[in-house]
């Protein structure tokens, strides 16, 4: 059985004070959910505040990105070691907004995945198709290629520790959700891509989230699907009540 994993991607939202307040509200609402991995991913500058506010709770800390180099002249970037020093356990890699607005490539995502695994961080690797790609009928092809390239050169054992997130780009922040059946089919295709590279055992172990306008009203339907192991939540992660309802799907 794969343990469900619900992560909040706060994106570029919340000041330090707001971070503290949201976490304070969230902790009691999800304190009895040991059967689900619960993660919040605030912006870098609020990781210290978040780590302090999360101390002693069952919520784990994640980051939204990192660089693949250990240190050096990379203005504006943050390394795996820096994240670990804050108690960060998870790191979102290759989010479509990073790919779209900041030029991230499959090759760069792969480098980050390898470094994260070596450092002991759990990568949450995002894949997803554009509306144009969906309409052209090449969704599976696109997401399977992204998956294989992100995981290129890692071992089957390492692959088991990767979390994948299927986020159709057209469903992010739009209120449009993939139907539960569609999301399940595409996630099944992603799992099959993992199987082709790493074998059945790894494919059955790896957890794959759905992301894109997931909210209290659709979480239980999505989570009931056999292939969907969790959610990567944007907008609805910014409200303690909404996020906690998703965690309790």
Using the rule CB under 6 A, which residue among 4, 42, 43, 235 binds ligand 13P?
A: 235
x-or-dash pattern for ligand 13P, window 151-170, by CB under 6 A?
Answer: ----------------x---
Q: Which of residues 3-42 bind ligand 13P (CB under 6 A)?
A: 9
Between 108 and 168, name the residue whose CB sits nearer to ligand 13P: 168
**How many CB atoms lie under 10 A from the CB of residue 173?**
12
**How many CB atoms lie under 10 A from the CB of residue 32?**
9
- Binding residue count for ligand 13P, defined by CB under 6 A: 14
62 contacts ligand 13P (rule: CB under 6 A): no
173 contacts ligand 13P (rule: CB under 6 A): yes
Long-range contacts of 75-80 (CB under 8 A, 24+ apart): 78/44, 80/115, 80/116, 80/118, 80/119, 80/121
Tell me how far, at minimum, the Cβ of 169 lies from ligand 13P, in Å: 9
Residues 6+ apart with CB under 8 A from 128: 96, 143, 146, 166, 167, 168, 169, 172, 211, 212
Kindly indicate which of the ranges 109-117, 138-146, 190-198, 229-237 contains the residues binding ligand 13P, using the contact rule CB under 6 A: 229-237
**Residue 76 falls in which region: left (phi positive, over 0), alpha (psi -120 to 50) or beta:** left
Catalytic-role residue among 67, 95, 104, 129 = 95
Active site residue 67: no
Residues 6+ apart with CB under 8 A from 103: none
Between 47 and 232, name the residue whose CB sits nearer to ligand 13P: 232
Tell me how far, at minimum, the Cβ of 160 lies from ligand 13P, in Å: 22
**How many CB atoms lie under 10 A from the CB of residue 241?**
11
Can you tell me the distance from the alpha carbon of 50 to that of 22, in angstroms, rounded to the nearest whole number? 9
Between 95 and 114, name the residue whose CB sits nearer to ligand 13P: 95
209 contacts ligand 13P (rule: CB under 6 A): no
Can you tell me the distance from the alpha carbon of 207 to that of 187, in angstroms, rounded to the nearest whole number? 10
Question: Which residues bind to ligand 13P, rule: CB under 6 A?
Answer: 9, 95, 167, 172-173, 211-214, 232-236
The catalytic residues are: 95, 167
């Amino acid at each position: 059985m794969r343990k469900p994993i619900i992560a909040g991607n706060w994106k570029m939202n919340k000041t330090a004070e707001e971070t503290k307040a949201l976490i304070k509200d969230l902790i009691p609402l999800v304190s009895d959910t040991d059967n689900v991995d619960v993660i919040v991913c605030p912006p870098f500058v609020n990781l210290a505040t978040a780590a302090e506010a999360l101390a002693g709770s069952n919520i784990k800390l994640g980051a939204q990105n990192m660089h693949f180099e250990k240190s050096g002249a990379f203005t504006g970037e943050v390394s795996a070691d820096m994240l670990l020093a804050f108690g960060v356990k998870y790191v979102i890699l290759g989010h479509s907004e990073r790919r779209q607005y900041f030029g991230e490539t499959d090759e760069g995502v792969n480098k980050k995945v390898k470094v994260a695994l070596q450092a002991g961080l759990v990568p949450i690797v995002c894949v997803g198709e554009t509306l144009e790609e969906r309409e052209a009928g090449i969704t599976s092809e696109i997401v399977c290629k992204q998956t294989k390239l992100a995981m290129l050169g890692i071992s089957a054992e390492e692959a088991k520790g990767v979390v994948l997130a299927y986020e159709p780009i057209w469903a992010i922040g739009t209120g449009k959700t993939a139907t539960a059946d569609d999301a399940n089919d595409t996630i099944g295709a992603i799992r099959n891509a993992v199987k082709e590279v790493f074998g059945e055992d790894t494919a059955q172990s790896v957890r794959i989230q759905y992301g894109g306008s997931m909210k209290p009203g659709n979480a239980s339907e999505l989570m009931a699907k056999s292939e969907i192991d969790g959610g990567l939540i944007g907008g609805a992660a910014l409200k303690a009540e909404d996020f906690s309802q998703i965690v309790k799907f």
